[in-house]
Structure 1
Amino acid sequence: MDRVHLLPMQLPPASSINGHKSNNGYGNGKGKVSFVRRLALGFMILAGLGLLYVPAYHSAQGQFSGLGETPSPQGSVGGTRHLVSSIVQLRGWSYNTTRDVSTYIRPENNTTAILNPSNICGESAYLLIVVCSAVTNVNARLTIRNTWGNQSNLDVLYDSSVKLVFLLGLSGNDTINDYVVDESHLYNDVIQEHFHDSYNNLTLKSLMMLKWATTYCDKITYLMKSDDDMFINVPALIKALKARAKSTGTLIGSLICNAKPVTDIKNKWYTPKYMYSERTYPNYLSGTGYVMSLDVARRIYKAALAVPLLHLEDVYITGICAKKIGLRPANQHGFSYIPRKLETCALREVITAHKINASTMNTIWSKLSAAEDAETNGTSVCTASKAVDKKRATITAKVGMKRVGYFLMKSGRTFNNRCV
């Protein structure tokens, strides 16, 4: 706003004021009245300018409205304490941080990987499972290698058609990074990309997954993204994929509908309006585990290069970018993002189970292995009839929905999961 300078008021000379007499003898009084009027006029002009300045200031701040405010430390000015409002920005993704995916992914380079396992996907690879793991979660990776992700077991059961890799970022601790290098040399299943490994960088991690998979595993049929606290029932997953009428155009998992952005700045899913301004997210798949066909992976990766990054990777990858290419994610029976009951027969039918620590994962693996061995020897562990199984599945589904509601209430992530 242009500044307006007030011209100094021109008062009559003192000699004129003192020398002038009115008929009633109040000449000096008249001069004083004139001076007061002029002074009052000056104050009125200043007050008017102040009133103009206030709306102009708020108008300039209007572009940031709705971003949330947080109080700055209170200070005392002339004995009066005051609050200074500021924008609540997301850690690592401030208002002026570029969200141009190309800046981080560098599509012109084949890979930005620090560690890049060799010869993972051969001609026979059907499914690639990429487990996004935190750098420090060494025990989780070891447990997966010893249970459902045991590569020797996968090679025998599926004739090398199922491959598993772990995707990591960088730690700020050089000792941990050195251990990851040793881990990579030992197992040849670790991809490490050059970005800080944090929760708010999970979208970068998943985009790196798309880039790496479409570059080095360009003959696979399916790509699965999962987390390192997930149990994956590989036999059930393969069975579900083989049952599909066609493999192309696939984007399946646990579908979430009508989710609203979280505005609570203390919540891990907080989303400021400068990152996403719509009232609801597009339908998307839970990031705990989802599967896409290779053609979809290529299309989503290409679309992401033109879509501003959002830190919530499942919303961004399977919601926003999928919508960009005109693809609707689909719910697949067997996928779940809530903890499951550790009942052997039920676990044999599910595809994913969430929030599984190392001890629980070993327990699940032992139960399922024992059931498999029993059936191999002609003893059926699950003897219930199909009718009983169907009734049990219905009851489990109802109980599961109640647990979903409780989980969402505790997490603060609200949505109506009635998908249309």
Structure 2
Amino acid sequence: MARYHCRWRRVLLCLCCAPCVLVGSLCVYVTLAVCYGMTTSTSLSSPAPIPQILPENFIAPGLTRNVYLAPHPTSSFWDLKPHGGALWNRLQLHIDRHYNPILMPKSSKVHNDHLDTNNNNSNYFQFSLPTLSAGFSEIGNLTSQMEHFQELPLQMQMFVNSMHFRDYPVLIEPAKLCGRGIRKGQGPLLLLAIKTQGLNFENRQAIRQTWGWAGRVAGATGKGGVVRRVFLLGKNHEESHVDISELLQLENRHYGDILQWDFHDSFFNLTLKDVLLWDWLSTHCPLARFVFKGDDDVLLRTPALLDYLREQTIQSGGPGSEGMKVFMVGDVIRAAVPNRVNSTKYFIPDSFYKGLYPPYGGGGGVVYSGELALRLNRISRRVHLYPIDDVYVGMCLHRLGVHPIHHPAFLTFDFPKKEGVEQCAYHTILLVHKRSPAQVMKLWSEIMRNQTECSNTILRTEKEKKNTLLIDPFSVKDNEGQELLTDPWGRSGNSAL
């Protein structure tokens, strides 16, 4: 009886499960049919992709053919001698890589934070100077790294032998240059920093009596501002028998405007005057609104410059604005190349430097903001010294991301023909280069005398400047074919440095 009931339970279970099995099979069939229909419609609308035949193993092109090893490349992946192995490029490459935000993100961030501040942070210098020294240690003996070093001009050899050193003691300095006649917490509107040499007393005296007058100076049309003056000198050791140190001490006691360091005052050491000036400013005159840096053989229309600088300050948003942090104006030279003529004093061998120069202000004088001067002081600690001072400033600007402003009123190669003889010609410029002390005295007197007649004269514009752009900056000749200028940086003859 029990067996009979078990059999019937199996029959009833089969009858109940059979419809479920049939329904499940039907669902599977419908799903497959729908999928097949969608695949067919897609294949009809677009052609089927052609399968790509790939090799079993990728083989890079190279010199060797080994079954088990990949071939080595035909050329090196990393250039072992960038810029042809030029000495300055190699030295600078070491420090640029150290501050590269990709290669050294943490180090780069720390130092960029320092560059963005206006405070002179001693920790920054302590960290930067060893980095500069490390580049020299990596290169080794510098003279052995340059081809035909002993055949180079003496000034080039002297520079290479001393380019690792930039800290020189101050021999003479003015007392409280930026602290007299100014309210507490303020600096002068303009500091005139003029490069000169010890024996150029006549040049300095002409400047003191004309455009370099110190004190409160009225603008050509505006109220002007406080102007301070300082002359930058090295030491001419070969002239020590003239006892020029005593004369300079006497001159500083009388005028209070001599700043001298204990380094050899030569053309290739002019860069030291920039670097040491920035460091001196950060301590003794950090609140100066603007700095004029130029030669002692220029004529500067200081009153007109004061008006121009006040106008630029207003347009940029005032002191401390972003515009003032990047302000530099002058005769900007772009895409210049090193002078490869061995017979000139500007000769730079390709074993020392290769490449174009960054934009820089030349022609005997530029003006930059005090904020930028402090930034240049900091960034100069990560740029190796270069023998052309104007170019070195451009290299520092390039690493700050600063683009100097070109203004046609800064004349590098003098006036175009006949323009300089016009009555109000000198009222259209801010600076002109290569003027003797006697010419400076005479021209300044004429400028003061013609102020009323030339009161409506405006500064030179880019349109008026176009004629001077045709001049070959490496060799300018007069009508008789005589070379007048052999200096791509705007200086001719015996520069007063």
Task: Please name the residue that 1:275 is paired with.
Answer: 352
1:104 aligns with 2:166: yes
C-alpha separation between the residues in 1 aligned to 2:304 and 2:384?
36
C-alpha separation between the residues in 1 aligned to 2:360 and 2:268?
18
Task: Please name the residue that 2:253 is paired with.
Answer: 185
Task: Please name the residue that 1:303 is paired with.
Answer: 379
Give the deviation of 1:164 after TM superposition: 1.1
Which residue of the other structure, out of 96, 107, 113, is the alignment partner of 2:170? 113
Deviates more, 1:113-122 or 1:239-248: 239-248
Which residue of the other structure, out of 225, 241, 263, is the alignment partner of 2:309? 241
Give the deviation of 1:165 after TM superposition: 1.0
Task: Please name the residue that 1:261 is paired with.
Answer: 338
Over 3 Å counting, the alpha-carbon distance change for 1:93 and 1:400 in structure 2 is closer
Over 3 Å counting, the alpha-carbon distance change for 1:310 and 1:86 in structure 2 is closer
Deviation per CA, 1:279-311: give whole Å up to 9, x if none: x11111105111111221122222222212111
SS, match of residue 268 in structure 1: coil
Task: Please name the residue that 2:205 is paired with.
Answer: 142
SS, match of residue 311 in structure 1: coil
Over 3 Å counting, the alpha-carbon distance change for 1:182 and 1:401 in structure 2 is same
Task: Please name the residue that 1:288 is paired with.
Answer: 364
> Where in structure 2 are the equivalents of 1:19-418 lying within 5 Å?
87-94=150-157, 97-100=161-164, 103-105=165-167, 112-122=169-179, 123-151=186-214, 154=217, 161-172=226-237, 173-174=239-240, 175-244=243-312, 245-246=315-316, 247-278=324-355, 280-286=356-362, 288-317=364-393, 319-340=394-415, 341-372=420-451, 375=452, 380-381=453-454, 396-403=464-471, 408=476, 410=483, 411-412=485-486
Q: Which amino acid aligns with 1:252?
A: V
Give the deviation of 1:396 after TM superposition: 4.7
C-alpha separation between the residues in 1 aligned to 2:386 and 2:280?
20
C-alpha separation between the residues in 2 aligned to 1:296 and 1:156?
23
Q: Is the 8 A contact 2:427 2:454 kept in 1?
A: no
Q: Which amino acid aligns with 1:291?
A: V
Over 3 Å counting, the alpha-carbon distance change for 1:134 and 1:96 in structure 2 is closer
Give the deviation of 1:171 after TM superposition: 1.8
Question: What runs of 5+ residues in structure 1 fail to find an aligned partner?
Answer: 1-62, 68-83, 107-111, 416-420
Deviation per CA, 1:10-44: give whole Å up to 9, x if none: xxxxxxxxxxxxxxxxxxxxxxxxxxxxxxxxxxx
Over 3 Å counting, the alpha-carbon distance change for 1:306 and 1:287 in structure 2 is farther
Over 3 Å counting, the alpha-carbon distance change for 1:287 and 1:274 in structure 2 is farther
Q: Is the 8 A contact 1:222 1:293 kept in 2?
A: yes
Over 3 Å counting, the alpha-carbon distance change for 1:264 and 1:239 in structure 2 is same
SS, match of residue 362 in structure 2: strand
Larger radius of gyration: 2
Over 3 Å counting, the alpha-carbon distance change for 1:237 and 1:404 in structure 2 is farther
Q: Is the 8 A contact 2:411 2:431 kept in 1?
A: yes
Q: Is the 8 A contact 2:383 2:396 kept in 1?
A: yes
Over 3 Å counting, the alpha-carbon distance change for 1:156 and 1:222 in structure 2 is closer
Over 3 Å counting, the alpha-carbon distance change for 1:359 and 1:257 in structure 2 is same
**Number of aligned pairs?**
318
Over 3 Å counting, the alpha-carbon distance change for 1:406 and 1:342 in structure 2 is farther
C-alpha separation between the residues in 1 aligned to 2:286 and 2:488?
38
SS, match of residue 166 in structure 2: helix
Task: Please name the residue that 2:494 is paired with.
Answer: none
SS, match of residue 325 in structure 2: coil
Give the deviation of 1:268 after TM superposition: 1.5
Over 3 Å counting, the alpha-carbon distance change for 1:258 and 1:366 in structure 2 is same
Over 3 Å counting, the alpha-carbon distance change for 1:401 and 1:217 in structure 2 is same
Give the deviation of 1:401 after TM superposition: 3.1
Q: Which amino acid aligns with 1:346?
A: A
Question: What runs of 5+ residues in structure 2 fail to find an aligned partner?
Answer: 1-82, 88-146, 180-185, 317-323, 478-482, 490-497
C-alpha separation between the residues in 1 aligned to 2:406 and 2:162?
33
Give the deviation of 1:133 after TM superposition: 0.5
Task: Please name the residue that 1:72 is paired with.
Answer: none
Give the deviation of 1:264 after TM superposition: 1.1
Deviation per CA, 1:63-89: give whole Å up to 9, x if none: 99889xxxxxxxxxxxxxxxx966543
C-alpha separation between the residues in 2 aligned to 1:405 and 1:320?
20
Deviates more, 1:359-368 or 1:336-345: 336-345
Q: Is the 8 A contact 1:115 1:181 kept in 2?
A: yes
Q: Which amino acid aligns with 2:214?
A: Q
Give the deviation of 1:335 after TM superposition: 1.0
Give the TM-score normalised by structure 1: 0.68
